[in-house]
Amino acid sequence: MRADLQMLLKGFLVLPLLFLTSCSDIKEVQNLNYVTAIGVDFKDNEYIGYIQLISFNSQGANGSSGEPSVWVSETKGKTFDEALSRAYNTSQERLLWAHVNTILVSETALEEGFHHIFDVLTRYYELRLVTWIFGTNAPIKDVFSTTSFFNQSALATVLHRPLGTYEQNSTIRPIKLQQFVRELYEPALTTYLPSIRINESHWVHNMEPDPKLEIDGAFFLKNKEFKGFYTLEVLKGLRWLTKETERAGIQVMDDEGEPDFNIVFEKNEVDIKPVEGKGPLSFDVKVSLEGVIANRDANKILNLKEMEANLREEIHKEIKDLYKLGVQNDTDFFRLEHILYRRKNKSWKSSLGDGGFKLSENMLEDIDLNVKVIHSGALKNRTINMEEID
């Protein structure tokens, strides 16, 4: 009987545990302001922090009633942390950082060094490393205030959901903070952030110009060094040597320089390794691509072998052009130094002795391109020639 009583007593002792959880840490959802994006700029020796808050009125799907509303705060401070903290002064209600979706860093802040920003973004427990991260040259206030279509919330933009467009047209792979810091703090590795800007010319809404966000290039960084901004056009060769590439198209010209056909590649495999043996340092590049015909403008090159040869030539040229630019600007677009660091660490170490790893023209001699055109879509490998109709 006494044992039963004891059990009962213990039971009563334990019961409150179920209700005690987080009684003072509880946050009322309606009393919180959800930060959706954080921006950093650096001007006149000061950090400028930006915070994006969006209204939940337009959180719904297409055609929800309200106009999308976005608020952006701008605060300054000696450090990034100080700048962001000033936003508390005017935030009215508790700011919740747990749902930050994207980080936007200005070029000047990148030049100043990302390591000043990393610590703030990682240490505080509400922030997570799975946020996207971008660079920009545009005013961050404007970027954060640019919304998407159909009165959808500001979350429906490439800034918050970059994968959708990347899957359709891959050039600059979007990157999450976790992957970015993994690469930034890795010795001898050159990484890059996609660059966001506002495009004012592509769209009109009810005949009024409607600005939209676009990815227009990338910022390159190697550890503490800022390596500069490059446009999409210049970086075309990058996608062929990027593992993440999902879908990439290329136009092939005929001998006279007129457009002939266009291939979209949907599968790619990349392998770059340093060449074994003595002699000057060089790298073997192996790329396998599988694609389909996306468009045929003329019927000039029809033989599969010839098509593939022409494709190889075009792709080869894109890669080579970017590589040459890298040699000129001392930017290791294809991460050759890091490949050396991983695979032949001794050679890499000895290169440090003579002033560090230097790219040179002939390091990327051998590019082995294996290109396959798998099908030609709903049409045969011909287009209808207007002259030939009968």
Smallest gap, in angstroms, from Cβ of residue 182 to another protein? 4
Binding positions for another protein, rule: CB under 8 A: 10, 13-14, 16-17, 20, 22-25, 98, 122, 125, 128-130, 161, 176, 178-179, 181-183, 185-186, 341-343, 345, 349
| C-beta of 22 vs 206, nearer to another protein | 22
| C-beta of 195 vs 268, nearer to another protein | 268
| C-beta of 25 vs 44, nearer to another protein | 25
Smallest gap, in angstroms, from Cβ of residue 130 to another protein? 5
| C-beta of 10 vs 205, nearer to another protein | 10
Among the listed residues 46, 43, 42, 48, the one whose alpha carbon sits nearest the alpha carbon of residue 109 = 42
Smallest gap, in angstroms, from Cβ of residue 8 to another protein? 14
| C-beta of 22 vs 62, nearer to another protein | 22
Smallest gap, in angstroms, from Cβ of residue 24 to another protein? 5
Smallest gap, in angstroms, from Cβ of residue 308 to another protein? 30
| C-beta of 334 vs 341, nearer to another protein | 341
Smallest gap, in angstroms, from Cβ of residue 96 to another protein? 12
How far is residue 364 CA from its own chain's centroid?
25
Smallest gap, in angstroms, from Cβ of residue 13 to another protein? 7
- 371 in Cβ contact with 289 (< 8 Å): yes
Measured distance CA(306)–CA(185) in Å, rounded: 44
| C-beta of 178 vs 199, nearer to another protein | 178
Smallest gap, in angstroms, from Cβ of residue 66 to another protein? 21
| C-beta of 156 vs 263, nearer to another protein | 156
